[in-house]
Amino acid sequence: MNVYFDNAATTMVRSEAVDAMLRIMRDEYGNPSSLHHMGRRASAELAAARSSVAAAIGSHPDDIYFTSGGTEANNWAVSGSIEALSHKGKHILTSSIEHDSVFAPIKKLRINGWDVTYLAPDSNGCVSAESFAQALREDTAFASIMLVNNETGAINPVGEYSKEISRRRQGTVLHTDAVQGFGKIPFSIKTLGADIVSVSAHKIHGPMGAGALYVKSGTRLPSFIFGGGQENGKRAGTEALPAIVGFGEAARLVCLEYEQTVERVRKLREYICHRLTVEIPEIVIIGDSGSPFILCLSLPGYKSEVLMSYLDSEGICVSKGAACKKGSRSRVLEAMRLKNEVVNGVLRVSFSRYSTIDESEHFIQTLKKASETLLAVK
């Protein structure tokens, strides 16, 4: 049996999104910027997709800007905000558990003279509202903390961060990377209160190569790519219309199916956690209070790479953390101050609406067999 439990890395593109993309490539292949009838029809398709993504997060369509994915959206949010806010202060507030597409550009800004505070997570991998409030300063120009951690599934109280900024009336721009939360935990632009929000298509059964950045009306964010008037002059270049339309269809459907999908995945995760603790008593569940779509676990004393290889040989796809890390040690888990043997034996198991009980049981039994077979390499 083949089991794909690496949905936090990417999801299968659902058939409805594929059909929508094929329709664009075959029938509505005009350039949205062209003025003839094919261009006008393409422009209407682009507008419809923008409306679908906006509706999925409760924003106005005019506040949505399409990107090539979450990484570009995050880079734009960080670099653009800093360019616009340098006169307000030189302090950035972020966390030590951010995705590299936020962590790396902020690290570069720190090298270039910005004062950066990295908030540490608690034992569940969350950055508390209290720690945010304590670190927020009068000269904090920009803050960026993710909504759902991509390795542990920990959910951060972004709405509370926003309330603290509003209470102080100091104008700090708040960005959140909501890529792993989009369509998977309940939120809207109103409940988050963030000024800038990043989302991506390929985490919700849309295609790779499409993402979006929500920018609150009135928030200054300079253009990211120059040379054309696309995306209201903010991001030049012909829009990837097939991917964007696929994104729009996936966003539309994730809203319609949200409650059913979340309940199904939550029960599946609970089943796996229970069965694992029975079958493999030494298993460690990490940060067991977050997104139902991500399960971070460890077999202390074993090596993640060895466990992954064994599971892969049995047709099971999991990871040891973020796909973009490509095997390097997790700074997220280190920031949680976990023991070395726990970090070394970590696996990230992530689900989708298509994951099944049969797949789960195959995973459980195979991991149990691995823990027995690989005993000699502890």
Residue-wise pLDDT for 261-283, tens only, equals: 999 999 999 999 999 999 999 99
Please check the confidence at residue 364 and state whether its pLDDT lies above 90.
Answer: yes
Mean pLDDT of 180-185: 97
Mean pLDDT of 100-105: 97
Q: What is the pLDDT of residues 22-36, one digit of tens each?
A: 999 999 999 999 999
Please check the confidence at residue 168 and state whether its pLDDT lies above 70.
Answer: yes
Please check the confidence at residue 373 and state whether its pLDDT lies above 50.
Answer: yes
Strand order in the sheet with 140-144: 64-67, 211-215, 196-200, 173-177, 140-144, 91-95, 115-119
Q: Quote the distance between the C-alpha of residue 288 and its chain's center.
A: 18
pLDDT at position 323, please? Answer: 53
Q: Quote the distance between the C-alpha of residue 341 and its chain's center.
A: 27
End-to-end, the C-alpha distance of the chain in Å comes to 27
pLDDT at position 85, please? Answer: 87
Mean pLDDT of 130-143: 97
pLDDT at position 330, please? Answer: 84
Instruction: Place 89 in a pLDDT band, splitting at 50, 70 and 90.
Output: confident
pLDDT at position 275, please? Answer: 97
Mean pLDDT of 316-329: 73
pLDDT at position 192, please? Answer: 97
Instruction: Place 186 in a pLDDT band, splitting at 50, 70 and 90.
Output: very high
Average pLDDT value over all residues in the chain: 94
Instruction: Place 376 in a pLDDT band, splitting at 50, 70 and 90.
Output: very low
Percent residues over pLDDT 90 in the chain: 90
Tokens matching residue 271: 């089943």
> Which residue is catalytic, options 126, 273, 317, 324?
324
Q: What is the pLDDT of residues 196-251, one digit of tens each?
A: 999 999 999 999 999 999 999 999 999 999 999 999 999 999 999 999 999 999 99
User: Is the C-alpha dihedral spanning 331, 336, 342, 348 positive or negative?
Assistant: negative
User: How much is the pTM?
Assistant: 0.95
pLDDT at position 322, please? Answer: 61
324 tagged catalytic? yes
Please check the confidence at residue 143 and state whether its pLDDT lies above 90.
Answer: yes
* Residue 366 and residue 311 in contact, taking contact as beta carbons nearer than 8 Å: yes
Phi first, then psi: give them for residue 198, nearest 5 degrees: -105, 135
* Domain regions of the chain by residue span: 15-256, 258-364
Please give the Cα distance from 269 to 150 (Å, whole number).
16
CATH class for the domain made up of 258-364: alpha beta
Give the residue, 66 or 301, on which the prediction is more confident.
66
- DSSP for 145-173, written as a single string: --SB-TTT-PBP-HHHHHHHHHHHT---E
CATH T-level fold of 15-256: Aspartate Aminotransferase; domain 2 (3.40.640)
Residue 217: strand pairing partners: none
* Residue 312 and residue 371 in contact, taking contact as beta carbons nearer than 8 Å: no
* Residue 109 and residue 116 in contact, taking contact as beta carbons nearer than 8 Å: yes
Q: Quote the distance between the C-alpha of residue 68 and its chain's center.
A: 14
The answer to whether domain 15-256 and domain 258-364 are alike in fold is no
Closest CA to 186 of 147, 241, 240: 147
Mean pLDDT of 102-119: 96
pLDDT at position 257, please? Answer: 97
